[in-house]
Structure formats: C-alpha cells, structure tokens
Chain A
Amino acid sequence: MRASLVVAVLALAGLLGPPGRAADGRRSDAEAMSPALRAMQQDDAANPGMLSVLDGEALWSAKAGGAGRSCADCHGDATVSMKGVAARHPAWDAGRGSAVDLAGRIALCRTERQDAAPLPPESPDRLALTTYVAHQSRGMPIAPPDDSGLRETRARGRTLFTTRIGQLNLSCATCHDDLAGRRLGGTPIPQGHPVGYPLYRLEWQATGSLQRRLRNCMTGVRAEPYPFDAPELVALEAYLMERAAGLAMETPAVRP
C-alpha cells in the first residue's frame, strides 16, 4: 500500500520517465535490445512467452488435487484478482515468518489449498501459472511492500548482491551497478532489473524464472549457485525488486 503510494507520488513529481525507464537512469534491459527483439516482445503473436501465459490460463481454471478446486474457484477472474500481485512480490508471509516469491506462493497454494502434488521449480506448470499471474501486472510499476520482515530480507539480499563470490571473485554489484552498459566479452552488461520474469530467453530456448537467471549469473563467476527456492535467492529477488521499484512490469519479456 505505502509503496504504491510512494510510486504514485514519484509519478506525480515527474520523477518517473516513460515505463521501462526512470528519471534517475534506471531502465529496463529491454531498452538495450535490438529493435527486432523488442518487436518480438511487444507483439503477443510473436512473443514465445505468451505460450506459457496461455498454458497458465488453462491451468488457472483446471480443478486439481484432493480439494478438487481450481485456482479460479478461490480467486475468481485472474485479470481482476491477480492484477498488481506480481509487482508486489516477494511478499512477507507472516504465518511462516519468511519472504515468499510469486512462484513460491503459487506452489504453496498448490500443495496447501488444492492439496495437489508439489510444483517443482522450473516445471512447465509452475512456470506457466507464474507467467500467467505475472502477466496480469504487465505495464504496472513495481511496488515492493513496506514490511519490517521484508526490510530485513532485502537488507540480506543487498549484502548478497554486494559480496564478491566465486573463483572469479566478482559481486553482482560489480557488473550490474558499476559496469552496466559496458561489454563483457561481446555481451552488453544490463542493469539487471527483474521486470519481465518469467521470461523467454533465446539462449535457453525456453521460458525461465528469475531464480534461473540468478543461478546462471552465479555459475558465470564460478560460484556455487544456491538451490532453487533457497532463502538467499528469495532475498536477492526482494532486493532486486526494490532496486527496480517504479519500473514497469513486462512479463513475459523476451531476452537474448
């Protein structure tokens, strides 16, 4: 609530540029892509990530598990009930006393509310449901909630972001704060804003999660990646969302 108020005030004060770009220089990594890739992302008929959205839409109203209930049975029309939900995840789960990201929240509803088999990380159904739900926030500004628990989580994420890791001894911040816009080998280093996840990556030939991307960057510096759903990855996600506050969601984005 408060975060979206802050965003509204920033927008009024003219501090936010066009969607995808903030007046302070933060910008979506889509802006550095080739015109062809940007066109692919913007055209729903050409964007391969839309296949996950369609799969997710079908799963949304499919009854599953011991409860025999669909997501829609409890949440109704996703285009209404899920609007803005991705823009404020990870969120604080007071019952668990931990931060939960969007895919984690969906996986919890799957096991606890539907009484169905768990959705493993990066499984097609989990990606499809997450992409479908996140798509309902497309165009909306990222608005991290202001929870004391989340504040601690983000602080932990920030520490992880700025700690040098791996055999190459580099931190996320080295590349994404200090060297963004420069070239690592042939590849431009993006600012690393998580605006479009889950997204379709040409290199993967698939839709993938933000956690998959973070694990790729860790392997890139020859560090041991945290396992999927590890609290460290959720903390990094929470920090990245705060760092990207106000930028517009793009799910499903397309990236090289």
Chain B
Amino acid sequence: MRTASLAVGLAAALLGPLAIPSRAAPPPRIEGQALPGSPTGRPGDPARGRAIVVDRTRGLCLLCHSGPFPDQPFQGDLSPSLAGAGSRHSPGELRLRIVDGRVLNPDTIMPSYGRRDGLVRVGEAWRNRPILAPDEIEDVVAFLATLRD
C-alpha cells in the first residue's frame, strides 16, 4: 500500500525537519517501510536504550505499550506489546516507526519521536526539539532489536 514513490516523496518532506546532527554522514532515506542506517554514524547502546524505554519522562513508551519488563509495575494497554518487536521488524523498520510512525500510519497515536514540525501549541519547555535526540533513538532501536521471540 505504501508505494515506493510515496515513500520517496515523504523522504524528501522529512529531510528538513528530521533532527540530524551536522556530523552525520548521508541523510536518512526511507526505503520501503524502513529508515536504514544510523544517522549518527555510530551503533546504539541497548542498555541505554532500555533505560530510555522504561523512563516515563523520556521514552514514555510504557504509557502506551507493555513489554517484557517485569520490574515495571505500570504499563499501558493502548498499543501492541513490545515483546518480540526485534523479531517482527528490522532495525530500519524500528527506526522509522520511532522517528516518524506517521509515515506508516497517518492516524497513529504514537508520537513521532524524531520530528519537531507539524505540531500545534507545543509547551514552551518542549518547543523546537524532538522528543528524543538522534543518538537516543539509536539506543532505543538497538534495545528493541534485542527483544526477540
């Protein structure tokens, strides 16, 4: 359904607003349903990624998701469990889902963690920055990739 040409158009639209550090090598390109290649040029750290995912003020993931986190008592039930996410999706697919899930599903309730445009009335403290920085997103992707069935 999401055709390659649509993806290319969206990729063009995305290039500006995506928060890419200037030292990054080539800008990210959407291929199919994935955003392959780390924009930071370094692999993410799964341990740091886990800490972000379970942190209710950083990743916020467990507001909506549940997952294999027995140490976390309060998990959401608004979306699929994160268990097995690394088996279902390639790292590139996970990256696109987190950077901008709206590309995959325009009506999704999951925030686009790597975008800061297209938003209305953002609070002063949060204005003009994405929810997660590119290196934090890489950490989260690296962690999700370890969640295998």
Contacts and interface: CB of A to CB of B under 8 A. Distances in A.
Interface of A: 163-170, 174, 179, 182-187, 218-219, 222-225
A185 B62 contact: yes
Interface string B54-67: 00100010111000
Contact of A168 (B78, B111, B124, B125): B111
A168 B64 CA distance: 12
Given A169-B111, A170-B109, A185 B74 contact: yes
Interface residues of B, number: 25
A168 B61 CA distance: 11
Most chain B beta-carbon neighbours within 10 Å: one of A165, A167, A187: A167
A165 B121 CA distance: 6
Contacts, number: 68
A222 B76 contact: no
Contacts of B125: 222
A166 B123 contact: yes
Interface string B111-129: 1100010111111111000
A168 B76 contact: no
A167 B78 contact: no
A174 to B, nearest CB: 6
Contacts of A165: 119-122
B62 A166 contact: no
Contacts of B116: 167
A211 B74 CA distance: 27
